[in-house]
Amino acid sequence: MRGIYCLLLLIVFFSTVQSWDHFQFDITFFCELSDRTKYNVKIEWWEKDTMSAGQLLTKPFLTQPNTGRYSFTMAGAMNGDEIFSAGYKPVAYISHDCTSDKKRVDLVLLLTRLCEIGHTCHYRIIKDITNTWGREDLAPTDFHHDNMDQFPDYP
C-alpha cells in the first residue's frame, strides 16, 4: 500500500513540474509629477510560495520613462508550483522614484487573482504609482485565462 502511495505522489509531482506555464503582464503606470519629466522604475515579478521565498517569474525590467502614462509588457514562465497549491500567486516588486522628494521607494503589489497551474495567464495592470510605496493587494484591471489576445485598452 505504501508503494502505491509513493507512486501516486511521484506521478503528481512530475506531472506538475514538467510543464511550463506562461505569464504575460501588460502594465500601465502613471507618474503624475508636474515638476519632473522623467522618473526611474525597476520591476520584477515573483511567484509567492507558502513554504519558500518564492520563484522569479520575469527578468527584472529597468527603465526611465517620461512622467504621465507609460505602458509596457513583461513575460515569464513557471514549471510547476509547490504541492497542494491552489495556483500561482504573482507578486510585483517595484522600486521607483516617482515621489515628490525624488527619493527611491519600494512598492509590493500582491495580485489577488491566482493563475491556475497548467494554464497561460495574461494580466492587465493599471496603477498610479505617484507617491505610492508599501504593500498592497491589487485586483488586476483585466485577466485572460489561456488567451494572449491584446486587451482593448492596451497600450
pLDDT at 51: 65
Q: Percentages helix, strand, coil for the chain, rounded to the nearest 5?
A: 10, 45, 45
pLDDT at 155: 82
Query: Which residue segments constitute the domains of the chain, with CATH numbers given?
Result: 20-145 (2.60.40)
pLDDT at 118: 87
pLDDT at 80: 72
- Give per-residue pLDDT as tens, 2-24: 655 544 444 545 544 457 899 99
Q: CA-to-CA distance for 122 and 65, rounded, in angstroms?
A: 23
Instruction: Report the chain's mean pLDDT, rounded to a whole number.
Output: 88
Q: Span 79-103, mean pLDDT?
A: 87
| Higher pLDDT among residues 10 and 146, named by residue | 146
For residue 80, which of 72, 89, 88 has the smallest C-alpha distance? 88
| Higher pLDDT among residues 14 and 113, named by residue | 113
Q: Span 57-81, mean pLDDT?
A: 93
Instruction: Kindly indicate the confidence band of residue 140, based on its pLDDT and cuts at 50, 70 and 90.
Output: very high
CB-neighbour burial class of residue 18 (10 A; exposed 0-12, middle 13-18, buried 19+): exposed
Q: Span 83-106, mean pLDDT?
A: 92
pTM: 0.84
pLDDT at 15: 47
